[in-house]
Structure 1
Amino acid sequence: MDTAKMINLYGCYPEADLMDFVNAPLGKGLPIDKPLKPLICIPTTAGTGAETTGTAIFDIVSSSTKTGISHRNLKPTLGIIDSLNTHTLPPAITASTGLDVLCHSLESLTAIPYQKREAAKSGNPLHRPAYQGANPISDVFSFTALKLCAEYLPRATHDQGDVEAREKMAHAATLAGVGFGNAGVHLCHGMSYPISGLNPAGYKHPGYSVPHPIIPHGVSVAVTAPAVFKFTASSSPERHLQAAEAFGVNINNVKRESAGEVLSEAIKRFLEKLGGQPRGLKELGIKRGDIDKLVDGTVPQRRVLVLAPGLVGEGRVVMQEGEVEAQRGELAGLLEEAMEW
């Protein structure tokens, strides 16, 4: 679907250079200033929600990183969702694509609020980012997707014939796509791109019958989630507790200052229940000596880092002069904590 979006884009801009529309700082980040041709997207996994979004992600092989193009004019004209398309997915692919749904919903729920998204206030609509920050509309989609994913992803993974679970996950993927396509994602996705792009040990995820190393996208986002949401919780403890409740945690007597720890533990238990998931970066073959390279690969992902609570706050701008070393240190600390759990 992302490939189709880019074909549509560059077919309508035949004179454009590939990097013209690619997110800055890796590309020029030019706005898409005219409507594209009609595009119908039909997902075959319950994962990306790309049939709903104005984002297309791709690999830059030469630099072992991922980036993308984000603009509302990139959105498909129509998405057709039929869960029958997912019924032949093997368990490993069901799980990893579902983990993308999980992190889409968690990250969009906990992204910085739209009122603090300065770029969203641009006077020219063409220059406003696709990702607006958490807002009352995206919250409804994201939280519903989270609850569906928490309940039905384990069922869909462990029982390929569970028709209800397949239907609910298809529903969740689309809802999460609307949620994050409006609010945005942040640290799990920002750090996932170099994790899967670099793959320094040549890890090949069990259950994937491909002839080359692969860290599936959903695995690369979820492996840092326990560390990430412990880090972001102080920005919105109530939201993090609400997310923990979606996993079945009784939050009645949980203190606000414990929200991060509680949600982090809930995510770990969920990943264990799902089965087959690495318990940290170490199990992907990543060593502490790789952390600096992972930070180097995360820093250019500014389109999502600018939505990260904790990394941006009152008076803080991602990788702005005076903040660079401190924010690199925070990213390194998150990766360090994600090494094993």
Structure 2
Amino acid sequence: MPNKIRVLIVDDSALMRRVLSEMINATPDLEVAGCAPDATAAREMIKLLNPDVVTLDFHMPGMDGIEFLDRLMRLRPIPVVMVSSFTEAGSETTLKALELGAVDFIGKPRADGRRLDDYAEELADKIRAAKGARLRRQGAAVFAPPAAQMPAPPVGNGGGRGGGNGRIVFVGASTGGTEALKELLLGFPADCPPTLIVQHMPEAFTASFARRLDGLCAPRILEAQGNEKVEPGTVYIAPGHSHLQIRRGPAGYLTELLSTPPVNRHRPSVDVLFDSAAALVGRLAVGVILTGMGKDGAQGLLRMRRAGAQTFGQDEASCVVYGMPREAFLVGAVEEQWPLGDIARRVLAVTR
């Protein structure tokens, strides 16, 4: 077996350190390199143990997790998975941590919540993704080669593409997606094409995420509530509790939320959104798949392309985790692959 991924657990709770340690050490390809109760101990243990990944609590005596993360990413960058409480206040702090360079986050295990074996599996997945993640310093530009062109997909029921009017943009993202979406939407003008987004994120986080983006970006950005009219200048983000899709209304398209079971282990699922785009919008849709682990969205984007939509994928060099875009690229769903910094320009070019 290849070398195990070595994890440093940083948490002021002895109980939490023990629970996380048992989960990590029970996973064959992971092991706990050490445990630290505070930032001071963590700093010394990182120097001594050189772990592959750090799990970091927010609330610690002395220096809190956010301050420690800020210093760590400036002075000694290392993949970090934040351990957060899934609350409104916790969501704001988590979003700040992702801005500072944390790769991902997970809630704290609770005896009255989801099954602990499910939690342990998700924790292991996030640690593995963090180990292979591409760390980006704040404000760093990403340079990559020109777009790669994919061959045409198998023949579907689509045709040629429509003109600029009436285009609707559909976007999917996961690990690393909060910052990628911010960069994408900062490139959109106030009168951007209608845009629907699925970002894998828990229920308590999506409203805060939408508000944060709305305060930074030119378009109106909101957490979808269902039955909103899909109109230019507005970006609709799927809530963490429901699938988001598009449906026809009497006077145009509307958003629709579904509480149906998870797809690809996710609700909201990118495939659900993309499938509705393929079925209803067809050649007037534009599909974009951004950084994230797993394969959610790959088949839906392929169905979009077969229906005549233009499709874009984020390239490997600019992804935090080149998982979802890679899967979509390999099945022929991605027509053009671009660095993150170029995707907004390309999307706007084909929608006008």
After TM superposition, the score normalised by the length of structure 2 is 0.27
Counting strand residues as a fraction of each chain, which structure ranks higher? Answer: 2
* Structure with greater proportional helix content: 1
Which has the greater radius of gyration?
2
